[in-house]
Amino acid sequence: MPTKHLCVGSLALNDTVYADGRTSMADPGGNALYAAVGANIWSDQVGIVAVAGYDWPAEYTDQLAHSGIDLSGLVYKDEETLRAWTIYELSGFRRYVSRNTEVVLLTPSPYSSRPASPLEVANFNEAARQVHLRSSPLPQELPPQLWEVDSIHLCPMRMERLLTWIDFLKGKPDIFVSIDILPHYVAGNFDDHDLVQLLSRADAFMPSEAEVESLMPLHNLAVFCREMAARGPKLVVVKQGDHGATVYDRAQDRLYTINPYPAEVDDLTGAGDSFCGGYAIGYAKTKDPVKAAWYGTVSASFVIEGFGGLHALNTTKAEAETRLEELRRLNRMIQA
């Protein structure tokens, strides 16, 4: 069956430490994986485009292939896979610490009596930049047949890599493009050149609250959504963690509140990415921006109930439909 929906981004190995002492090492992760898993819950026409390093376990690839996810967009490199500690504090705060060799060697020590010099900071930043760039695929690496798709979700990548994809996709107007983003600190300057370029080809812009805050500190959600939509996207979807999500439909000039599904949370990693994957499928199925958010919410609810993303591949369509119906009953849409 042809692939209709692509998830583009990174693969990663996650080493997780919880505040209560639990640990889980080398879990399969990365935003492209979580997005593809979230989409796969609803569709068997999903593909993943990402970079796999020499240390990416073959068993993870086998599980993805067994689920029916198209892996012809995987790019194999003789480099380390993106890897990081994910550390949870008692407050719920989550931090990431790179474990890739070249970044580790340049990471400033928080216990040093001497602050890092400007050169040391610059070297650290450049090492991190290079790791992220090599871990993110290029559109030129995509097999030609995979361009014949209905939708592409661009997961958070460095802005320069996202803009490379945007340039390619401008020549493919029939593809529905949804975009997530890393924090991009423009402090309310919505006419930032890179941001305007990014939004110009987005059908749906899907940042988290943290990304919204980087774009508009102390943001007003209604103002933010309308400002983003004015620059291109017909849909703006803000992911708000355990507070659910907010959907703005430009055509109706309406904001909708989406309540979360009461899942049994084990690991929150990948929740936002799996939401985006589910949203893309939901919108393709229904053409309804609010119903699509229900699909995304259900996808995230399964992913956060275990470590790593692959366990959610065992979700049946019947289980997903049952949660979708429960979520319909739980939700009360309100106009902001």
The pLDDT of residue 332 is: 66
Task: Dump pLDDT digits (tens) for 217-245.
Answer: 988 999 999 999 999 999 999 999 889 99
Residue-wise pLDDT for 248-268, tens only, equals: 999 999 999 999 999 888 888
Report helix, strand or coil for 179.
Answer: strand
pLDDT digits (tens, 9 = 90+) for 266-280: 888 899 999 999 999
pLDDT band, residue 320 (cuts 50/70/90) = very high
pLDDT tens column, 99-120:
999 999 999 888 888 889 999 9
Say whether pLDDT at 334 is over 70. Answer: no
Query: What's the pLDDT tens digit per position in 141-189?
Result: 999 989 999 999 999 999 999 999 999 999 999 999 999 999 999 988 9
| Mean pLDDT for the stretch of residues 272-296 | 97
Instruction: Give the per-residue pLDDT at 1.
Output: 64
The answer to whether residue 317 scores a pLDDT higher than 80 is: yes
The pLDDT of residue 333: 47
Report the DSSP beta bridge partners of residue 248: 236, 255
Q: In the prediction, which pLDDT does 330 show? A: 87
Whether residue 95 is predicted with pLDDT greater than 60 in this model: the reply is yes
Is the CB of residue 4 less than 8 Å from the CB of residue 174?
no
Helices (H), the chain: 31-40, 58-66, 101-104, 118-134, 159-169, 193-199, 209-215, 221-229, 271-286, 289-303, 317-330
- pLDDT, position 336: 38
Given a cut of 80, is residue 335 above it in pLDDT? no
Q: How far apart are CA 210 and CA 297, in angstroms?
A: 18
Give the contacts of 237 (CB within 8 A, at least 6 positions apart).
204, 205, 206, 245, 246, 247, 248, 279, 289, 293, 296
Burial pattern 118-140, b for ≥16 Cβ within 10 A else e, equals: eeeeeebeebbeebbebbbbebe
Q: What is the mean pLDDT of residues 286-313?
A: 95
Q: Which residue shows structure tokens 């400007």?
A: 118
The amino acid at residue 262 is P
How confident is the model at residue 11, as a pLDDT? 97
Cβ–Cβ < 8 Å for 86, 96 = yes
Q: What is the pLDDT of residues 190-217, one digit of tens each?
A: 999 999 999 999 999 999 999 999 999 9
Q: What is the mean pLDDT of the chain?
A: 93
Instruction: Read off the pLDDT of residues 43-91 as tens digits, 9 standing for 90 and up.
Output: 999 999 999 999 999 999 999 999 999 999 999 999 999 999 989 888 8
Q: Residue 294 — very low, low, confident or very high, per pLDDT cuts 50/70/90?
A: very high
